[in-house]
Structure 1
Amino acid sequence: MQLYHHPYSMDSQKVRLVLEEKGVDYTSYHVNPLTGKNMNASFFRMNPSAKLPVFQNGSHIIFRAIDIVQYIDRLTASLSGEAASVSTETAEWIQKIENWNPRIFTLAHTPPKYRTFISKFIRRVIIARMSESPDLASMYHIKLREAYETEDKLKNLDGVKQSEDELRVILDEAESQLENTGYLAGDNYTLADSMFIPLLVRVSLLNLEEEYINTRPKVLEYYNMVKKRPSYKVVIGKYFNGWRKYRTLYKTACFLLVRNTLRRY
């Protein structure tokens, strides 16, 4: 089994948390979307959406995080001789979290100068790949159009506010749930927690904990608890705890600056 992913990707974190919690052995391949590696022709041919993660088991390839998570759950249950079982509460939480798109929220809370720099770099990467692989030009053109559409959406303040409001609703519901249970869908860790934790990590990465997490005592208590799990330390803590966050960001920033200066896209 192979997983193409990156530590920055929320969906990648969801899948990796499930893999680690279930003890599944897999081969890891890093594909950094901030440097446009997901636009390389070899990856793009496999997954024209260019989104992460991509999970491959033999000839079977899955793209969407929710589909990968459910596949892994069924697979591990089958290998253990058990029937795959996801409670109604778990399924509802998974769908609720999956329905929230973090892209606009993330970009809206990223300093404009960094957001603009990365956006221009990615557009130049797409144009360069389009020139290198003419047979994929039509699909690359779709990604280029999506990049411009995203910039337009960021100018729509109502859309940004809607994304923020949707996040608050999820966190408020989580706060209410965690007043009665230890984890998101009950007293045991489930797939719902693996889907929810990366949402909290994204808020932390954007330095918005005070507004979105610390104001909700049960969510804060839960977040501090799950940080102690081995899966969290492997998937997230290794890259984002303390000074590691700055190292992770610094490496990517240096790479982008060098490539942009040399005009190597």
Structure 2
Amino acid sequence: MQLYHHPYSMDSQKVRLALEEKGIDYTSYHVNPLTGKNMDVLFFRMNQSAKLPVFQNGSHIIFQAIDIIQYIEKLSVSLNGEDNPINTKVTEWVERIDLWSPKIFTLAHVPEKYRLFVSKFVRRVVIARMVQAPDLASVYHLKLREAYDTDEKLKNPENLKQSEEKLCHLLDDAEIQLGITKYLAGEDYTMADSMFIPVLARIVLLDLKEEYITCRPNVSAYYNMVKRRPSFKKVIGKYFQGWRKYKTLLRTWCFLHIRDLFRRY
């Protein structure tokens, strides 16, 4: 089994948490979206959405995080010889969390000069790949159009407002649920938690913990608890906990500047 992912990708974090919690071995391949690695021709031929993660088990390839996690759950049941159908409450939480897209929320809270630099760099990468692979030029053009559309959406404050409202509704409901149960869908860790934890980690990474987490005591206590799990430390803490987030971000920032300086797209 192979997983193409990156620590910056929230969906990648969801899938990796599920894999680690289930103890499933897999081969890991880092594909950094900020440096345009997801636009490399070989990867793009396999996955023309260029989105992460991508999970491959033999000839079976899955692209959506929610589909990968559900596949992992079924695979784990099969490997362990169990016969436990997925809990309805777990499925409801998984689907609800999946409905909230972090893209506009994340980009809107990144300093503009950094966001514009990365956006410009990635667009140049896409143009370079169009030249490198003419047969994929039309598909690469769609990704280029998508990048410009995202920039336009960020200019409209209503888009951020809608994203924030959806997030707040999700957190409010989680606050109520976590006042009743230890984990999101009951007393045991489930794939609903694998979906939810990266949402909280993204909020913390953007330095918005006080505004969205601390003000919700049950969610705050839950996050402090799950941070101690080995899966969290390996998937998220290793890259973004404490001083590590500066190391992770600085490494990519330096790489981008060097590539841009030498026009290596």
Other-structure match for 1:183: 183
- 1:36-115 superposed matches below 5 A: 36-115=36-115
Letter in 1 for 2:94: I
- 1:171-210 superposed matches below 5 A: 171-210=171-210
Q: CA separation of 1:148/1:87 partners in 2, compared to 1, >3 Å: closer, same or farther?
A: same
How far apart, in 1, do the equivalents of 2:190 and 2:238 lie?
A: 22
Does residue 219 of the first structure (1) align with residue 219 of the second (2)?
yes
TM-score of the superposed pair, with normalisation by structure 1 = 0.99
Structure 1 gaps of 5+ residues are none
Shift of 1:37: 0.2
Other-structure match for 1:117: 117
DSSP-derived class of the 1:213 partner: helix
Query: Could you give the per-residue CA deviations for residues 156-202 of structure 1, whole angstroms, max 9, x where no partner exists?
Result: 11111000010000000000001111000011100000000000010
Other-structure match for 2:258: 258
How far apart, in 2, do the equivalents of 1:47 and 1:84 lie?
A: 32
Shift of 1:84: 4.6
Q: CA separation of 1:84/1:127 partners in 2, compared to 1, >3 Å: closer, same or farther?
A: farther
Letter in 2 for 1:226: V
How far apart, in 2, do the equivalents of 1:84 and 1:27 lie?
A: 27
DSSP-derived class of the 2:182 partner: coil
Q: Is the 8 A contact 1:6 1:52 kept in 2?
A: yes
Q: Is the 8 A contact 1:123 1:147 kept in 2?
A: yes
Letter in 2 for 1:81: G
Q: Is the 8 A contact 1:73 1:84 kept in 2?
A: no
Q: Is the 8 A contact 1:3 1:27 kept in 2?
A: yes
Shift of 1:80: 1.3
Moved more, 152-161 or 7-16: 152-161
Other-structure match for 1:152: 152
Shift of 1:83: 2.4
CA root-mean-square deviation: 0.6
DSSP-derived class of the 2:207 partner: coil
Does residue 28 of the first structure (1) align with residue 37 of the second (2)?
no
Other-structure match for 1:127: 127
How far apart, in 2, do the equivalents of 1:158 and 1:84 lie?
A: 43
Other-structure match for 2:240: 240
Q: Percent identity?
A: 69
Does residue 141 of the first structure (1) align with residue 118 of the second (2)?
no
TM-score of the superposed pair, with normalisation by structure 2 = 0.99
Moved more, 238-247 or 219-228: 238-247
DSSP-derived class of the 2:4 partner: strand
DSSP-derived class of the 2:61 partner: strand
Shift of 1:81: 1.2
DSSP-derived class of the 1:182 partner: coil
Letter in 1 for 2:264: R
Q: Is the 8 A contact 1:78 1:84 kept in 2?
A: no
DSSP-derived class of the 2:127 partner: helix
**Large movers: runs of 4+ above 2 Å:** none
Structure 2 gaps of 5+ residues are none
Letter in 1 for 2:82: E
DSSP-derived class of the 1:48 partner: coil
Shift of 1:76: 1.2
Shift of 1:79: 1.4
